[in-house]
Structure 1
Amino acid sequence: MLFDLPDHDTLYQALLARDDRYDGQAYVCVASTGVFCRLTCPARKPLPENCTFRATIAECIEAGFRPCKRCHPLQAAAGADPTIAALLKALDERPGLRWSEGDVVRMGYDPSTVRRSFKRQFGMTFLEMARQRRLREGFETLALGGKVIAAQHEAGFESPSAFRAAFARILGCAPAALRQDGLLRASWIGTPLGDMIAVASESHLHLLEFVERKALPAELRKLREATKGGIGIGRTRVTEQAAAELRAFFEGRAPVFTTPLFQAGSAFSQAVWDELRRIPAGGTRSYAEIARRIGRPSAIRAVARANGANQIALMVPCHRVIGADGSLTGYGGGLWRKQRLLEIERQYVADAGADLREPRRSAGG
């Protein structure tokens, strides 16, 4: 079930203001042109009487509208920006390079424009993303049994203290504190929306978070304190399953996760997390609706706290919780990422609708 759209006047004002709170949550269908757009579309604004607003891409297509070529509503916004696409491709090709603004200039781009574009789309600058990517290279060296000094050089850090500090900012501890024989093992998983840290045993996934989540160091410290064997570094079969399912999700092949999960929490929190997992891809819920569904209609704030305490991102889809008015609400991974995830999942719904509308061929071809 999707949220009820706000009234026409509210959404039309959001269209005029290019209000990104509704981006991916509502689309405008323009009768005079036959196209549908994001509310953030830079094109000239249509008259209000020519606008109808719909909650999903599938509804727009079913109503006979085609996607706008300016705002590309079928694509994630970042992928529609050729500058971002070119720089991400360059980063993939040279992950170990110590990128600087000079490198950006030599590629023919203005550093300030690039800085703003990446900050708007990813919540971090291109250079911050490049440093994070280098740190991943060092983390993976450690996971393969390499020494800290080798990991430091692999990550492109000249100073051991700088490498330890960068590592600790994300994981809350120095590299040497991670044991090779820990009962839980931490690993780094790359995704199109940023790198993630996964912590798993041989039987369950205990944590999955984007690396820049502010609460990540505290969450890892709590896991270390609760685990007698501490946290080591490396992958388990559960981590491999999680990585494969994340890859399938982002490639548009499967929106369902079956990785076995373990989350420590109260009976109330468990009820909230179970309800989150019942929200289908392409659907959303409000805090109030979740509270009603678990039989605690007055516990809306407690639901919000349990939602925020979830430490298995995507697989326990707290990103599918939105405001009662349909606007995006807080998300530990960043609102920009929440928007992208909802866009990806709405594409699953749109693709399913297209499959249903595809005419069947006769046996004779």
Structure 2
Amino acid sequence: MQMTLSFVPSQTEMETAFYRKDGSYDGLFFVAVRTTGIFCRPSCSSCPKRENVEFFLSLREAVLAGYRPCKRCRPEISLGQPPPWVSQLMERVEARSGQKLSSDDWQELGITPERARRWFQDHYGMTFVDWCRSRRLARAFAQIREGEPLDDVVFAHGYDSYSGFREAFAKTFGVPPGQAKTQRYIAVELIETPLGLVVAGAVDEGLCLLDYCDCRSLERHYATLRQRFDSAVLPVSHPHLDRLKTELGEYFAGERTTFTVPVALEGTPFQVTVWQELQRIPHGATIAYDELAQRIGQPTAMRAVARANGTNRISIVVPCHRVIGKDGSLTGYGGGLWRKRLLLELERTGQLPGN
């Protein structure tokens, strides 16, 4: 079914969401208050009178209209960028070749280890200490596969002994360093998008994860990937992820309607069948769950189809957002209905609302 409706929220819907303080609309629109000259997220706790409120579909429009950002809800902080302190922390770790940060480093950066632990746990599915360890071991892993002497690798990455390195390596990869040349891993990277920070994962066969960092299912996806691929998750680059970043940029610019990056669909035979059918839904079109069930030859399996749709781990590229309710309603989406609306509007018009 071709989309004929705009998925931009109506004035009434925006008013209702704002006065309900509905955080699922954060990022979909902004609320400006004429009497104070500020603009907020829909979830902001402020409660101005209705006659003093106006709505904007982008941060840029609100700023150009002369409004300044609310100091309470901070709407100017882009959903697509990690906080500056995280970037500084990563740069410091890389500059020290993955060595542990000293107390002076933490003090100079003005960051507490606990704050870093929480952020990396929420966005990478691992603590900051685990992230640092994974970075060191990933570099060691690559060097071993390239044939560098094991002794050189061990001491180059800050390990005092071969036994300590071997224990850490085996804990991460499930095999001793001597078997590194035959061991696989899942490479993960954070990618900035107009809809927020996403985490992408890839194995040699293709893309195996693309999910929003604030998605509640992210930790479950990590666990499933580790089990399905029997591999460690490492924060490193991969050619498939480089290709994905390029194609996502083109997609959000309205210049790409299909993705060519390969995907690695790991699931039950039924799930894989549903996910493959999702990839056949044309850009700019939507279908209902019952039609999706009919397309895979199981017209009575609508609930099972909906569950498989909800367990899709590769958002956007495997377009589960193109499945809507039979009555045209958006229904659920793991990344939030506001993201589903924006994706459909992008595909309908060729640009995100407000651009």
Q: Same fold (TM over 0.5)?
A: yes
Question: How big is each residue's C-alpha offset from its partner over 1:103-146, in whole Å with a ceiling of 9 and x where there is no partner?
Answer: 32232334444445555565554434333322332333244344
Q: Do the aligned residues in 2 keep the contact of 1:105 with 1:111 (CA within 8 Å)?
A: no
Give, in angstroms, the shift of residue 258 of structure 1: 0.5
Alignment match, 2:17: 11
Q: Does 1:165 align with 2:164?
A: no
Q: Do the aligned residues in 2 keep the contact of 1:199 with 1:208 (CA within 8 Å)?
A: no
Distance 1:47 1:157, change over 3 A: farther
Question: How big is each residue's C-alpha offset from its partner over 1:325-359, in whole Å with a ceiling of 9 and x where there is no partner?
Answer: 77763xxxxxxxx57x959x86x9499648998xx
Distance 1:36 1:190, change over 3 A: same
**What fraction of aligned residue pairs are identical, expressed as a percent?**
25
1:215 to 209, 224, 227: 224
2:79 to 76, 81, 85: 76
Q: Do the aligned residues in 2 keep the contact of 1:96 with 1:134 (CA within 8 Å)?
A: yes
Distance 1:269 1:187, change over 3 A: closer
Distance 1:46 1:328, change over 3 A: farther
Give, in angstroms, the shift of residue 207 of structure 1: 3.8
Distance in 1 (CA, whole Å) between partners of 2:300 and 2:150 is 51
Q: Do the aligned residues in 1 keep the contact of 2:207 with 2:262 (CA within 8 Å)?
A: no
Structure 1 unaligned regions, length at least 5: 224-234, 330-337, 358-365
Distance 1:262 1:89, change over 3 A: closer
Q: Do the aligned residues in 1 keep the contact of 2:30 with 2:42 (CA within 8 Å)?
A: yes
Give, in angstroms, the shift of residue 275 of structure 1: 1.7
Amino acid at match of 1:12: F
Distance in 2 (CA, whole Å) between partners of 1:132 and 1:175 is 14
Alignment match, 1:245: 243
Alignment match, 2:187: 188
Give, in angstroms, the shift of residue 96 of structure 1: 1.5
- Aligned residue for 1:132, secondary structure, equals helix
Distance 1:354 1:10, change over 3 A: closer
Give, in angstroms, the shift of residue 306 of structure 1: 2.3
Q: Do the aligned residues in 2 keep the contact of 1:30 with 1:52 (CA within 8 Å)?
A: yes
Within-5 A mapping of 1:217-236 = 217-221=226-230
Q: Do the aligned residues in 2 keep the contact of 1:115 with 1:125 (CA within 8 Å)?
A: yes
Structure 2 unaligned regions, length at least 5: 192-196, 212-217, 232-236
Distance in 1 (CA, whole Å) between partners of 2:87 and 2:281 is 34
Q: Does 1:274 align with 2:277?
A: yes
Distance 1:52 1:83, change over 3 A: same
Q: Do the aligned residues in 2 keep the contact of 1:189 with 1:195 (CA within 8 Å)?
A: yes
Q: Do the aligned residues in 1 keep the contact of 2:290 with 2:302 (CA within 8 Å)?
A: yes
Q: Do the aligned residues in 2 keep the contact of 1:101 with 1:111 (CA within 8 Å)?
A: no
Alignment match, 2:318: 316
Q: Do the aligned residues in 1 keep the contact of 2:277 with 2:292 (CA within 8 Å)?
A: no
Question: How big is each residue's C-alpha offset from its partner over 1:124-182, in whole Å with a ceiling of 9 and x where there is no partner?
Answer: 544343333223323332443446666555554551212211233xxxx55555554x9
Distance 1:263 1:317, change over 3 A: same
Q: Do the aligned residues in 1 keep the contact of 2:93 with 2:132 (CA within 8 Å)?
A: yes
Q: Do the aligned residues in 1 keep the contact of 2:186 with 2:201 (CA within 8 Å)?
A: yes
Between 1:138-147 and 1:33-42, the stretch displaced more is 33-42
Alignment match, 2:101: 99
Alignment match, 1:87: 89
Task: Give the aligned CA root-mean-square deviation in angstroms.
Answer: 5.2
Alignment match, 1:127: 129
